[in-house]
């Protein structure tokens, strides 16, 4: 639950203005809005990387800012949009750091942990052998994105924040990501909050869409009600071209698995 949240990078210049929000496990929430509308800032504020200047963020009644770091990481995790360049380390090592909040300072990898890392890597289409020999700084953008998804899968927080998770992914892996998000929400009852530019994905995947403008929520509701032409024009200053399939000239390509129940 978020209450009257206000936060930003510089004191006196908040990016997010008195934002309130309540959500439960099992929901997929999309954050939509133009560049600079505060989507990423809101997500960073939720993880307490940017501490809130006023207002409260509560997860199951506990304030995020007051949680010990490892408890917080078990409650809320984030896939940042533009990660810093990591120091060279093997892919596998990188992924298993996702375990930190559960495993602690020392203590090696148990066979069970090792198994979980193996399964996670396979799930995200990562070669186990290459995981040992290959370093994260040698990966392509899409591979690195998958490695980071594998890491957050191991971290397994109750709330997953994904900042533009489809960036760098080609469409087979986009559908893998879509399956991943659905599984997290539907089966594991996690709350997923994702900042997303692709309105098709927001429309098909999210249960609820928050439209942000200048750090405030302009609309909040089911995607059909929020992603309306008039609202989009108001927020983006430009109307989107909306097509139904029958009007689409030539062929229309959509990511497999995007429509719920299809192909998964």
Partner 1 sequence: MNGPFPRKAVVAVVAGGGVLVLTIVASLMTDASGRWDGGGASPQILQQLRIPRLILGIVVGGQLAIAGLLLQTLFRNPLAEPYILGVSSGASLGNVLWTLFLAPLIPWRFGMEISGALGALLAVLIVIRAGRAIGLGDSPSFILVGVAVGAGLHALAALFLVQADPNRIRDALVWLMGSLAYKSWLTVWACLPVLAAALAISMFYSRGLDLLGLGEESAHDLGLDVPRMRMLTIGVAVVLAGSATAAVGVVGFVGLMAPNLIRLHFSISHRWMIPLSAIAGGTLVPMADLLSRYLAPGREIPIGILTSIAGSAFFLIILRSGRVTGRH
Residues that bind partner 1 (CB under 8 A): 44, 47-49, 68-70, 72-74, 77-78, 80, 83-90, 93-94, 97-98, 100-101, 104-106, 132-133, 135, 137-138, 151, 155
Residue 227's alpha-carbon distances to 204, 254, 263, in angstroms, are 11, 18, 25
CB nearer to partner 1: give 77 or 257.
77
By C-beta, is 81 or 216 nearer to partner 1? Answer: 81
Q: Min. distance of Cβ 189 from partner 1 in angstroms?
A: 21
CB of 63 to partner 1, least distance (A): 16
The β-bridge partners of 160 are 77, 192
| Smaller CB separation from partner 1, 137 or 225 | 137
Q: Give the distance, in angstroms, between the CA of residue 141 and the centroid of all CA atoms in the same chain.
A: 17
- Within 8 A by CB and 6+ apart from 79, the residues are 148, 149, 152, 160, 161, 162, 163, 165
Give the H/E segment covering residue 214. Answer: none
Least distance (Å) from partner 1 to the CB of residue 155? 6
Residue with Cβ nearer partner 1 (5 or 64): 64
Closer CB to partner 1, residue 104 or residue 111? Answer: 104
DSSP helix/strand/coil, 236: helix
**Least distance in angstroms from the C-beta of 133 to partner 1:** 6
- Shorter beta-carbon distance to partner 1: residue 113 or 198: 113
CB atoms within 10 A of CB 132: 11
Minimum Å gap between C-beta 176 and partner 1 is 22
Q: What is the largest CA-CA distance in the chain?
A: 60
Q: Cβ distance 102 to 72 under 8 Å?
A: no
Quick one: how many helices (H) and strands (E) in the chain?
11, 10
| Cα 43 to Cα 80: distance, rounded to the nearest angstrom | 9
CB of 184 to partner 1, least distance (A): 16
């Amino acid at each position: 639950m978020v209450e009257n949240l206000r936060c930003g990078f510089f004191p006196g210049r908040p990016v997010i203005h008195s934002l309130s929000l309540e959500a439960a496990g099992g929901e997929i929430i999309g954050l939509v809005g133009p560049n600079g509308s505060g989507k990423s800032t809101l997500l960073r504020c939720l993880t307490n990387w940017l501490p809130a200047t006023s207002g409260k963020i509560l997860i199951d009644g506990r304030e995020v800012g007051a949680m010990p770091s490892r408890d917080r990481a078990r409650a809320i995790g984030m896939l940042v949009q533009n990660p810093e360049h990591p120091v060279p380390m093997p892919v596998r090592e990188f992924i298993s750091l996702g375990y930190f909040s559960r495993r602690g300072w020392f203590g090696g990898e148990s066979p069970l942990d090792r198994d979980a890392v193996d399964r996670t890597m396979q799930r995200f289409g990562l070669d186990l052998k290459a995981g040992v020999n290959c370093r994260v700084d040698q990966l392509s953008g899409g591979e690195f994105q998958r490695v980071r998804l594998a890491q957050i899968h191991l971290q397994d927080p109750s709330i997953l924040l994904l900042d533009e998770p489809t960036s760098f992914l080609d469409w087979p892996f986009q559908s893998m990501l879509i399956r991943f998000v659905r599984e997290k929400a539907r089966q594991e009852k996690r709350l997923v909050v994702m900042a997303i530019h692709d309105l098709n994905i927001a429309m098909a995947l999210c249960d609820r869409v928050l439209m942000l403008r200048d750090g405030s929520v302009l609309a909040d509701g089911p995607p059909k009600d929020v992603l309306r032409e008039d609202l989009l024009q108001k927020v983006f200053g430009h109307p989107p071209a909306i097509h139904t399939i029958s009007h689409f000239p030539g062929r229309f390509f959509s990511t497999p698995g995007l429509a719920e129940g299809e192909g998964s």
